[in-house]
Structure 1
Amino acid sequence: MSYFKHHVFFCCNQRAAGEACCNARGATEMQTYAKDRIAQLKMKGEGKVRINKAGCLDRCDQGPVMVVYPEAVWYTYIDKEDVEEIIQEHLINGRVVERLKI
């Protein structure tokens, strides 16, 4: 069994100016939001949820992106409302958010 129930990686890669990248689309801010929310919800730690920054996940053209393991579900998102929906639906209730899945 995995150490975490869910391990979430936010691509926070920053490319040169003018090149598409997740960080230029707010990825670091959204990763911080998700990490803080998971802590507020007391879902942080062993057997629970881990929110991490990742380097390039090589899907910048579909970004910003995040991936949730162990299910290996890839998401795109626009704002905190999208990230909150992923937290509520996927991480809490175990339902994939189809509208944000890539």
Structure 2
Amino acid sequence: MKTLSVVLLFILSLVTLFAAARADALSQPSIQPRMARPVPLAEGEGDKKDDKKDDEEDEEEYRGLSQRASLELVDPRGLEDLLRLRVAAHRAF
């Protein structure tokens, strides 16, 4: 019985190892033939001063946002996901 438990644990650890390796391999970015190639953005010397002013204005604008509005900017479906998680948590307990 002890040997069977050790063999089962070993097999489960191998399955976990291969699943992690596969997930890691699938998460690596690759360029597919049909995808457009990335193009670097051109930076000009005059744009840096204007960008700094724009960044300050954007920062002031974002400070006035509520948590829900900022979540919608970052992840449009994030609020729905958050509500689903809350409902699932209430059902679990």
* Range of TM-score over shorter length: under 0.3
TM-score normalised per structure 1: 0.21
Question: Which has a greater percent of strand?
Answer: 1
Q: Which fold has the larger relative contact order, with Cα–Cα distance below 8 Å and residues 6 or more apart in sequence?
A: 1
Q: Which has the larger radius of gyration?
A: 2
Q: Which structure is higher in helix share?
A: 2
